[in-house]
Amino acid sequence: MAKKVVRVTMPTCIAPMRIDVFIRKCADSQMRKCAVLIRPSTRSRINGFTFTELVVVILVISLFVLLAVTNFSGLLRRSTFSAQANELVSTMQMAATAAAESDRRYEVIIDITEQCYTLRQITSPQLPSDVLEEEIIVKNDFNNNCRVVSVLFDDLVSTDEEHQKAFFRAGHAGWQAGGKIVLIDDSEQPYSVVVNRLNGVVALREGDVELLMPKRQDEVPF
């Protein structure tokens, strides 16, 4: 008796396919959420970078403004009476110090007519009438804040209408002659730059001070 073969057809399972589609949809949904979360963070980084650049630019501009203000303040200080008078004192002290430390001679020329002064190194044994350009070390002008009105030496030689230049010469032994240079500020207040040839000190004093004259030999008790 022949046996019958019965074929059983199993139904196709679609559950895995549905699960796979569901997983893909979930993945796409999560990616969209992540994209939404990432965008503000990226924008913040961009905004933060721009703000940093702005801060750097502001700092650089502030630095330039500070430098400009500093230079302008220095210019104002140099134009004041105190600055100009002290600069003259420093120039004369420099001449005395340089001469004392070497065998060279120096000369500070006060020109009342031109309202200026010049420091030069004397290079010739005989003093020439004209200052050589290569001898000039310092040359400065006075202005309305500081003007020179007269010079009196300790041997009573002074400037007048015919002699508007005064010469302070310094050598290894010190100043050839002392004296005072009378300056006035913009309010006509007098000051004196006193050159002491005994100790070589140059000092700025308020007022038209009385000049101490060196005593004669017969006036010295010893």
DSSP 3-27: PPPPP-PPPPP-HHHHHHHHHHHHH
The tens-digit pLDDT sequence of the chain (222 residues) is 554 544 544 444 444 455 555 556 555 665 555 444 445 444 444 455 577 777 777 877 887 777 776 665 555 555 689 999 999 999 999 999 999 998 899 999 999 999 999 999 988 777 656 778 888 999 999 988 999 999 999 887 777 667 789 999 999 889 998 999 999 998 999 999 999 988 889 999 999 998 876 555 454 444
Give me the residue label for tokens 């046996």. Answer: 3
Q: How far apart are CA 168 and CA 177, in angstroms?
A: 7
What pLDDT score does 198 carry? Answer: 85
Please indicate, yes or no, if residue 168 is contained in any of the structural domains: yes
Q: What stretch of H or E contains 205?
A: strand 202-206
Q: Is residue 118 part of a domain?
A: yes
Locus of tokens 């200052």: 131
Answer whether 159's CB lies under 8 Å from 112's CB: yes
Q: How many domains does the chain have?
A: 1
Please check whether residue 45 lies inside any domain of the structure: no
- Tell me, what amino acid is at 135? E
- Look at residue 146 and tell me if it is in a domain: yes
- Domain assignment of residue 212, yes or no: yes
Residue 54 lies in a domain: no
Surface-to-core class of residue 170, CB atoms within 10 Å of its CB (0-12 exposed, 13-18 middle, 19+ buried): buried
Whole-number pLDDT of residue 8? 46
* Range of the structural domain that residue 120 is part of: 81-216
CA–CA separation, 121 and 99 (whole Å): 9
User: CA-CA-CA-CA torsion for 56, 60, 65, 69, nearest 10 degrees?
Assistant: 120
> pTM for this one?
0.60
Calculate the alpha carbon distances from 165 to 7, 12, 128, 158, 208 in Å.
138, 124, 15, 9, 19
pLDDT at 151: 93
For residues 153 and 193, the answer to whether their CB atoms sit within 8 Å is no
Q: Is 178 inside any structural domain?
A: yes
Rounded Cα distance, 82 and 7, in Å: 122
Helix intervals (H) in 80-172: 81-100
- For residue 195, count CB atoms less than 10 angstroms from its CB and return exposed for 0-12, middle for 13-18, buried for 19 or more: buried
Amino acid at 170: A
CATH number assigned to the domain comprising residue 95: 3.55.40.10
20 inside domain: no
- The token pair at 68 is 């400009």
